[in-house]
Structure 1
Amino acid sequence: MLLAGIALVIYTLAAAIRAFVMPRNESVLLSNLVFRGIRFVFHLVAATGRTYARRDWVLALYAPVALVALPVAWLALIALGYMGMYWAVGEGSWAFCYKLSSNSLLTLGSMEANSLVGAFLSYSEATWGLLLMTLLISYLPTIYQAFSRRELIVAQLELRAGAPSSATNLIVWLNRGGTLLNDDTQWRIWEEWFVQIDETHTSLPVLSFFRSPQPGRSWIAAAGILLDAAALIISAVDQPRSNQIELSFKAGCLAVNRVYRFFEERAHSKPSELLEPTNSLEEPSRQEFFNAYKCLQEHNVKLNPDREVAWRRYHALRGRYNEAVTFLAKIVTAPEVKTV
């Protein structure tokens, strides 16, 4: 029992360090189990909502609740492990060991161990309890700073791509001066945003589930619009353009695919069934592409005269990120957004 208790404590501490301290995209089983269990409950409740706004309101609580529940799970396992160690060193009955473990973990100071070994265990348990709580508290500002930086770009994109936002509207805005050569700075900002998404949403995966302050916004919908806009420009627009567009497109494809592979392959997450089956984040049809093509023509954007060639190029480019964007949109239950 002593070895089992030590093993459980070490496993829990290692899980906490891998989840918040190690700067790598680690998939931690304990964290995954906590998040999946809470997500299952929230999805059951959200499924009763008749409107997207109601489901969005319910799911907005998921990430904060899961984040708070994670240290509770850590503390519970630490208490369980130390309870076994107290019993193994002869501190008394299971009931007394449970009370002593809980008292030591929460540093209440109302109970004392009966032996020197028990006292050592009690002090060490109090240390780990304080350390775990300090770990979470110290990382909350980091999480919310990353969230704020992400949402700043999402809000700015809505100003440029209209409401409802679309890649077509974004291209029209970018071409407002009759050229696409003046947008290096803007595309560079979006490239940096994609790089930040790549780093933060794999090292701190709970960030993916923090929903935008406005129900109609979503980070993955914004990523889809930016990638669609870049794909449309590269495939269909026949005029000089910023070289930064290709870099931003590559950065976006890498970011969404790495986040997708983390959830699909390493965290083994399943997409939500709360989205409508006709959600427009799915692959657009040929006719939808042609409608976007016509809209761009009406706004004096010079296009490739062969629509079929443009469609095939666009379809090939979208294949680099479509699966990832669709999966992530379902897993975070993103709002319906017109991509093209």
Structure 2
Amino acid sequence: MTLHPIWDLILRLLILIVAGYIIVRGISSAVRTFVLPRSAYDPISSTTFRATSALFRLIMRLRRIDSYEGRDKLMALFAPIALLLLPTVWITTVLIGFALIYWSLGSADLVTAFSLSGSSITTLGFATSEFPAIRALEFLEAVIGLVLTALLISYLPTIYSAFSRRETAVAMLEVRAGTPPFVATMVERFHRLGRLDRMGEIWSTWEQWFAEIDETHTSLVALVFFRSPRGDRSWITAAGAVLDSASFTVSVLNIPRDVEAQICIRAGFLALRHIADYFSIPYNPDPQPDDPISVSRSEFDEVCAELESLGVELKRDRDQAWRDFAGWRVNYDTVLLALARLTMAPYAPWSSDRSILATSAASPKRLKK
């Protein structure tokens, strides 16, 4: 069927506009993900990560992987594979866009147009056009393909450098808080060393750590899913243990007021909230001190009794200590559990061990970047 020349011209103009939009969207996605130093929702990157995640979860169901060790081994591949898929998706998007442009300009049929576009973006040069204007577009497409590849090459050292800094602190926490990290272990070890009143340097170090993940895990969101080198470690359970330890210190321990611990808590819950924002995880930005938390009073009392039996001096008013602890914990309780579930974190008391208790409303609705 042959279209009337006017309708054929209109169709080609429409295809040309659509092709231009596709190319711009592909380039914009790469810029938002690899270049822009702030958060920006991108549908292409979001869809790529969500589709890859769905594929990995399907594999887990088909292979009936129920143990944490099996899930951890499989999910360790998720972030690297999703990250490497992004340039492929972008290059494919640009390839389709230029192929439609070549077809709309009337230089070839659709199959030949795709062959010409593939030859250009891969810089193989096995196909070319005799028209100067289209040859100029071929060079432009080749440059775009090279730039997208270069972006990935330059991006990988940045993301692995941030990952290394994050994991160094997580590994060092094992010395202080055990594996899995827990508030009782950290307080006990500092008590045995006689340094309970000198924990300020720990809080200062982790305040800086929280500030760094606030920046890196929002601008380089793939880092959220990069798992620790050891399966029993996780950045989110480490964050939970530090926040609980700081909250416990200012609420329960009978030591002079520790301002550094309070600052660390604030830096921590702000960082976790900002990361949660990228996944549209809902939380109360202004919770009340008496709002319910996932840690029960009996669990709190059990830790207090254990530490008291070791000679740790606690505040006498246990009821007020509990209210103070809950008042701090409520600031990060929801986002901590949601992120632990999102990342399939390993077992850790007071964090990933109860992430399933978080309401279904706290599950991520979309991946923003």
Which TM-score applies when normalising by structure 1? 0.92
Cα deviation code 1:55-109 (max 9, x no counterpart):
1001000000000001110011000000010011111110100100001000001
- Determine the C-alpha separation between the residues in 1 that align with 2:299 and 2:149: 51
- Whole-angstrom distance in 2 between the partners of 1:99 and 1:93: 10
In 1: Cα distance, 2:241 partner to 2:84 partner: 32
Q: 1:71 aligns with which of 87, 108, 118?
A: 87
1:40 alignment partner in structure 2: 54
- Note if contact 1:46-1:59 (Cα within 8 Å) is conserved in structure 2: no
CA distance in 2, matches of 1:24, 1:188: 25
- What do you get for the CA RMSD once the two structures are aligned? 1.5
Q: Does 1:313 align with 2:324?
A: yes
8 Å contact from structure 2 (residues 180, 347) kept in 1: no
| 2:237 paired residue number | 221
Rounded Cα–Cα distance in structure 1 between residues aligned with 2:119 and 2:50: 29
**Alignment match, 1:12:** 26
Q: What residue number does 1:327 align with?
A: 338
The aligned amino acid for 2:244 is D
* 1:251 shift after superposition: 0.6
Partner of 2:365: none
Distance 1:265 1:239, change over 3 A: closer
Match of 1:111 in 2: 127
| 1:165 Cα deviation from its structure 2 partner | 2.2
What corresponds to 1:285 in structure 2? 296
Match of 2:38 among 24, 49, 52: 24
TM-score, normalisation: structure 2: 0.85
CA shift for structure 1 position 245: 1.1
Select 1:202's aligned residue among 208, 213, 218: 218
Aligned residues: 325
Match runs of 1:75-224 below 5 Å: 75-224=91-240
Structure 1 unaligned spans of 5+: 267-281
Kept in 2: contact 1:179–1:240 (CA 8 A)? no
Deviations 1:271-325 (A, max 9, x none): xxxxxxxxxxx82221111111111212222111122221122112111000000
Matched-pair contact (CA < 8 Å) for 1:71–1:136: yes
In 1, the alpha carbon distance for the partners of 2:41 and 2:281 equals 10
Counterpart AA for 2:275: V
SS at 1:119's partner residue?
helix
What residue ranges of structure 2 are gaps of 5+ in the alignment? 1-14, 283-292, 352-369
Q: List per-residue Cα deviations over 1:230-256 (Å, max 9, x = no partner).
A: 111111112125431111111111111
Does the 8 Å CA contact 1:161/1:170 hold for their aligned counterparts?
yes
Name whichever of 203-212 and 231-240 sits farther off.
231-240
SS class of match (1:232): helix
Structure 1: distance between partners of 2:294 and 2:59: 29
